[in-house]
């Protein structure tokens, strides 16, 4: 269970990426029914740690908290050529050896790679750094086209905002969709995005950056049990089917069918966590139609069954909804 978090501040730490970790894991959201983490910011040398943009971060703790943390995280820092303090390298290796989660945001992946944690694992980082990570650490397979990668309890997030996706993925994995949704709602971000960072590498023409699908996607989420073929959706968007499919993939990073299945999964997760409805009724209300179809999508996407998911994340205890 994810209860304690240690964030390692390395000199020239990036304020935004550090802020992502502090925002997701460092705020008490129990008033909204969200999780509370034992949150620590640590450094190899306590004191003022330099940040980018001429700022400074006052860190009072050494690396001791990494020895017992359920998650050890590294935000972006310096550059790929920055030497990593041997004490940080050992702290990361120890966390991986004892089965803790290890997570990096953006160029934080270079610290994980320096510790050998990415050898034999898939990984990612900001697309601008992907070539350098591959060159310096050929033992890892760098995928520059995704928002984050999880490989055997090691998570690497791509640039800046993709760190939010990586963190929410971990919260969802450990604590369930409801906990991730509470955090996302407070941060005013999507609880889960489809697509990858490839969609951000090149700037599309101005006319393609204008979102034209908000009304359609809102209708899709609010009507999960309705017929949502491309033909139906294209008519609602007042587009040809071909134009709608192309525009949808360009703006949301997935086909309409894949995006819809993700929304149905999220709805099913919420119902499994927060109700005692039977699987057939949940499948019906989330738009899957039958429990067998819902089970297929759970196994394929979440690598678990609806029943196993309910056992792990149910907020119901003897018929009482647990909100604390």
CATH fold of 4-187, please? Answer: Rossmann fold (3.40.50)
Whose tokens are 């050494």? That residue is 62
Domain range summary for the chain, segments of one domain joined by +: 4-187, 204-324
Helices (H), 115-255: 130-136, 162-175, 177-187, 198-201, 206-209, 214-222, 230-237, 241-252
Residue-wise pLDDT for 155-184, tens only, equals 999 988 899 999 999 999 899 888 988 998
Number of residues in the chain = 324
The rounded distance, in Å, linking the Cα atoms of 107 and 189 is 22
pLDDT value of position 67: 98
Whose tokens are 């963190």? That residue is 167
For 156, list phi and psi in degrees, rounded to 5: -120, 130
User: Is 204-324 CATH 1.10.10.60?
Assistant: yes
Query: Does the pTM exceed 0.75?
Result: no
Minimum mean pLDDT range among 25-29, 177-181, 287-291? 177-181
Whose tokens are 């990984």? That residue is 123
Work out the pLDDT band at 319, boundaries 50, 70, 90: very low
Is residue 162 within 8 A of residue 26, CB to CB? The reply is no
- pLDDT of residue 321 exceeding 50, the answer is no
Signed CA dihedral, 75, 77, 80, 85: sign only = negative
The rounded distance, in Å, linking the Cα atoms of 213 and 237 is 7
Residue-wise pLDDT for 183-218, tens only, equals 988 887 877 665 555 434 333 333 333 356 888 998
Residue-wise pLDDT for 45-90, tens only, equals 999 999 998 999 999 999 999 999 999 999 999 876 778 999 999 9
């Amino acid at each position: 269970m994810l209860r304690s978090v240690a964030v390692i501040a390395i000199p020239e730490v990036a304020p935004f990426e550090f802020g992502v970790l502090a925002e997701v894991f460092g705020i008490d959201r129990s008033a909204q029914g969200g999780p509370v983490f034992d949150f620590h910011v640590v450094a190899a040398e306590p004191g003022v740690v330099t940040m980018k943009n001429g700022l400074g971060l006052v860190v009072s703790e050494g690396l001791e908290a990494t020895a017992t943390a359920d998650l050890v995280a590294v935000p972006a820092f310096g550059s790929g050529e920055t030497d990593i303090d041997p004490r940080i390298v050992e702290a990361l290796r120890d966390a991986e050896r004892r089965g803790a989660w290890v997570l990096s945001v953006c160029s934080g992946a270079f610290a994980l790679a320096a510790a050998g944690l990415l050898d034999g694992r898939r990984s990612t980082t900001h697309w601008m750094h992907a070539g350098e990570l591959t060159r310096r650490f050929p033992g890892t397979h760098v995928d520059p086209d995704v928002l984050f990668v999880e490989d055997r309890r090691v998570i690497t997030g791509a640039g800046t905002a993709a760190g939010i996706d990586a963190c929410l993925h971990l919260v969802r994995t450990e604590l369930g969709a409801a906990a991730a949704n509470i955090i996302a709602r407070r941060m005013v971000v999507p609880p889960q995005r489809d697509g990858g960072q490839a969609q951000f590498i090149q700037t599309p023409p101005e006319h393609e950056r204008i979102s034209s699908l908000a009304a359609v996607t809102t209708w899709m989420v609010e009507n999960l049990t309705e017929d949502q073929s491309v033909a139906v959706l294209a008519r609602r968007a007042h587009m040809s089917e071909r134009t709608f499919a192309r525009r949808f993939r360009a703006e949301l990073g997935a086909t309409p069918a894949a995006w819809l299945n993700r929304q149905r999964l999220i709805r099913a997760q919420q119902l499994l966590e927060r109700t005692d409805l039977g699987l057939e009724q949940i499948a019906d209300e989330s738009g899957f139609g039958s429990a067998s179809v819902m089970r297929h999508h759970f196994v394929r996407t979440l690598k678990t069954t609806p029943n196993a998911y309910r056992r792990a994340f149910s907020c119901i205890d003897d018929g009482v909804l647990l909100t604390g």
